[in-house]
Amino acid sequence: MNLFISQVSAIVWKDFTIEFKTRELFSAMFIFALLVILIFIFSVNLSVVEASEVGPGILWVAFLFSGTIGLNRSFALEKENGCLMALMLMPADRTAIYFGKLISNFVFLTIMELFILPLFMIFFNIDLLEHLFPLLIVIFLGTLGFCALGTLLSSLASNLKTREIMLPILLYPLLVPIVIAVVRMTGQVLAGEPLSEMMNWIGLTASFDIIYIGVSIMTIDHILEE
């Protein structure tokens, strides 16, 4: 068990060391998310539409799109010099690889989201600080679900010739429940409703997270096999 934790943390440490050196991923994700928000602002007439109605949707579309960049990069990095094979040769449970990648994907995406939030607040004139705590819970649940399924599918897609195309095609339809749930919840949170009013959505998101982490633990062995 101790070895398992140190292996997971070694993978996370490695991903962060690389990121601190290159700063490729974070800047790309951040700028991309910003661009998505800008393009949506141009395509929606904010003087006609209520900002708080379209805001949550735009915010999450930006998160998901830039999160996909992160996922694509995540396993491409491992495939580059055959590192994934070396990881598979380690005396490690395959789930350690999954959790290591899941945690580093999750942390990258969360940090990026925390940087986007203030900009979102300014662009849409929505006061987030008032409802910050419930909002963070919603973001946590949604990002976890996205990364749980996304890490599994990106490990799968990384072996395909057309991985950049296939990942979103495989991932997005499966993400529909979580997208609907987080957008709904974000909207309600920003409208000042307490979390207890949306237990069905929280339950749905939490079960999504649990189901897909569970499925990943059970199937990752079959994906990470030459």
Q: Which stretch binds other proteins (CB under 8 A): 28-36, 43-51, 81-89, 114-122?
A: 81-89
CB of residue 35 to other proteins, shortest distance in Å: 25
Encoded one letter per residue, x for contact with other proteins by CB under 8 A and - for no contact, window 21-40 reads xx------------------
* Interface positions, 140-199, toward other proteins (CB under 8 A): 149, 152-153, 156, 159-162, 166, 169-170, 173-174, 176-178, 180-181, 184
- Residue 116, burial from CB neighbour count under 10 angstroms (0-12, 13-18, 19+): buried
Query: Could you say whether residue 215 binds other proteins (CB under 8 A)?
Result: yes
Among 27, 118, 130, 200, binds other proteins (CB under 8 A): 200
Which run of H or E residues covers position 68?
Answer: helix 51-79
Rounded to an integer, what distance in angstroms lies between the CA atom of residue 104 and that of residue 67? Answer: 12
Q: What is the dihedral of CA 138, 141, 144, 145, to 10 degrees?
A: -110
User: Tokens in use for 112?
Assistant: 């990026």
Q: Please, which residue, 66 or 155, has the CB nearer to other proteins? A: 155
CB of residue 143 to other proteins, shortest distance in Å: 17
Q: Please, which residue, 66 or 188, has the CB nearer to other proteins? A: 188
Q: What is the DSSP letter of 90?
A: S
* Interface positions, 85-114, toward other proteins (CB under 8 A): 85-93
Q: Please, which residue, 83 or 114, has the CB nearer to other proteins? A: 83
Of 50, 37, 56, 54, residue with least CA distance to 201: 56
- Contacts of 131-140 with C-beta under 8 Å, sequence gap 24+, read 131/189, 131/190, 131/192, 134/189, 134/194, 134/195, 135/186, 135/189, 135/190, 137/195, 138/182, 138/185, 138/186, 138/189, 139/110, 139/113, 139/182, 140/110
Among 1, 45, 47, 82, binds other proteins (CB under 8 A): 82
Q: Where on the chain is the footprint of other proteins (CB under 8 A)?
A: 3, 6-7, 10-11, 13-14, 17-18, 21-22, 77, 80-83, 85-93, 149, 152-153, 156, 159-162, 166, 169-170, 173-174, 176-178, 180-181, 184, 200-201, 204, 207-208, 211-212, 215, 219, 222-223, 225-226
